[in-house]
Amino acid sequence: MKLTRRQSILGAMGTATALSQPSRLMAQSGQLLHASWGGGVGDTWTEAFAKPYAEETGTAVRIVEVPNPEAQFRAQAGNPQYHTGIGTFVQGVNMMRDDMLETFSIDELPAMKEIDEKYWLKTKDGRLAGITPYFAYYGIAVNTNEASVGEFKSWKNLADEKWAGRLGMTRPIYLSTYDLTILSKAAGGDEFNTEGGLDLLEGMARNVLNVSNSLAQQNTMLERGEVAAMPFYSVRVWSLNEAGVDYVRIVIPEEGALLLPYVVVAPKGVADREMVANWLNYIAGAAPQERGMAISGYIPANSKAEATDEITAKLGMSYSDLRAKLYQPDWGHIAEHQKDTVATIDQMLANL
């Protein structure tokens, strides 16, 4: 068979069109697409949330691992390819402020009534812009081969000169939201008054060996003892401990640790809205959150979730005792000022 030039061009155009469609077709084929960070987070979502949900409801949820779900939502604004995605609370606030999120009434997500309202991501008119499946906390991770847990009783210890070259630190983007907030609290201020926190942050920065750029790098530095300690996520230490690295411990200093809620959001104009609401309501429930805790140490946000004896032993306390030690700042204020705070920290680091 001999193809004419026109047939060849039409064939090529057809092929190109077909190749550009799969993601769109997948988003419309009856299964839900959920954007998640990779590694342990994606696995947790598959095992604790997606698989049981499919078994209970018959609706398949595909967990798609991406480096940054927020970036996907922003790139696809107006033409969403994902039904839902996870983000930090600050990312949720930023997307909500930019009117990028689908909102729901409490009647559509009744399971949210079991979650303390201080963890809700809601619009000014009281609609829910996302649900909070769980939280982690930000404490001080210590390699006990290099330092003792007792040497980090306070966040202020991180600024002690004796740790010169022995600490790790994250990048300004996270320093601005996490480290500065809890250091400000430790210095007697809070997210509205960060002057003392900046001084402590500067002191800590002087002791830092390097600024790490990924969780994997931070994990490795702690595990290898390249740094003795660093502000770090409870869930990462949990994973290290579960992997047999029992000499890395997470410390909650006397001033408390920073509570880090996560949010699951749906992009504005999401397809299959009713299915999405059902999925979100399921995520807000106690049972999947308890499974998530068992797999990766994320603390359930649902107040009816219960810890097994084994989990209580691993945490060293009950959920309620733990929650009492955590500081929940005004994330809306932090998100609103984040760019300016990063600029301030960038300039502070440049002048060290």
Partner 1 sequence: MPKFSRSVLLLAPSALLMGVFLIGLIGLITSSLSIDGQLDLGHYTAILNRPDYVEMLGRTLRIAALTTFFSVLLGFPTAYYVARYRGNRNFLLLLIIFPWLVSIVVRSYGWVVILGPRGLINGFASWVGLADRPMKLMYNDFGVILGLVHVLLPFMIIAILSVMLQIPRSMEEASMSLGGRPAHSFRTVVLPLALPGILTGITLVYLMATGAIVTPLLLGGLGDTMLGTEIFQEVMHFFDYPKAAALATVLLITALGVVLPIQIFERWLVRRLSDGAGQ
Tell me the closest approach of the beta carbon of residue 124 to partner 1, in angstroms. Answer: 23
Strand partners, 261: 135
- Out of 79, 224, 304, 318, the only residue in the binding site for partner 1 (CB under 8 A) is 224
Q: Give the binding range for partner 1 (CB under 8 A) out of 42-50, 168-176, 241-249, 321-329.
A: 168-176
- Distance of alpha carbon 118 from alpha carbon 124, whole angstroms: 14
User: CA 282, 300, 327, 171 torsion: positive or negative?
Assistant: negative
The residues near 54 (Cβ < 8 Å, ≥ 6 apart) are 60, 61
Place of tokens 């499919």: 54
Find the part of the chain contacting partner 1 (CB under 8 A) among 108-116, 256-264, 293-301, 342-350: 342-350
Residue 271 as a binder of partner 1 (CB under 8 A): the answer is no
Q: Which stretch binds partner 1 (CB under 8 A): 57-65, 68-76, 117-125, 134-142?
A: 68-76
- φ/ψ of 310, rounded to 5, equals -65, -45
Question: Which listed range, 101-109, 208-216, 236-244, 296-304, lies at the site for partner 1 (CB under 8 A)?
Answer: 208-216
- Judged by beta carbon, residue 128 or residue 215, the one nearer partner 1 is 215
By C-beta, is 65 or 346 nearer to partner 1?
346
Q: What share of the chain is helix, strand, coil (3-state, %, to 5)?
A: 50, 20, 30
Residue 69 Cβ vs partner 1, minimum distance, rounded to whole Å: 12
Whole-angstrom Cα distance, residue 132 to residue 119? 6
Among 16, 71, 243, 313, binds partner 1 (CB under 8 A): 71
Q: Is 145 in the site for partner 1 (CB under 8 A)?
A: no
- Which residues fall within 8 angstroms of residue 352, CB to CB, at 6 or more apart? 202, 205, 206
Interaction of residue 275 with partner 1, rule CB under 8 A: no
Q: Name the minimum Å distance from CB 87 to partner 1.
A: 12
- Nearest residue (CB) to partner 1, 52 versus 225: 225
Q: Does 169 bind partner 1 (CB under 8 A)?
A: yes
**Distance from C-alpha of 184 to C-alpha of 165, rounded to nearest angstrom:** 23
Q: Which residue from 8, 21, 148, 347 is in contact with partner 1, where contact means CB under 8 A? A: 347
Task: Determine the length of the chain.
Answer: 352
68 or 328: whose CB is closer to partner 1? 68
Long-range contacts of 19-27 (CB under 8 A, 24+ apart): 23/81, 24/81, 26/62, 26/81, 27/80, 27/81, 27/82, 27/83, 27/271
Q: Does 344 bind partner 1 (CB under 8 A)?
A: no
Nearer to partner 1, 113 or 224 (CB): 224
Contact 112, 63 (CB under 8 A): no
Helix (H, G, I), strand (E, B) or coil at 124: coil
The four Cα atoms 64, 288, 128, 326 give a dihedral, to 10 degrees, of: -100
**By the rule CB under 8 A, 142 interacts with partner 1:** no
Among 217, 303, 312, 328, binds partner 1 (CB under 8 A): 217
Residue 210 touching partner 1 (CB under 8 A): yes
Which distant-in-sequence residues (6+ apart) come within 8 Å of 39 by Cβ?
A: 65, 215, 216
Residue among 26, 54, 211, 245 that touches partner 1 (CB under 8 A): 211
Does position 165 interact with partner 1 (CB under 8 A)? The reply is yes
Q: Does 225 bind partner 1 (CB under 8 A)?
A: yes
Which residues bind to partner 1, rule: CB under 8 A? 67-68, 70-71, 74, 165, 169, 171, 173, 205, 208-211, 213, 217, 220, 224-226, 339, 342-343, 346-347, 349-352
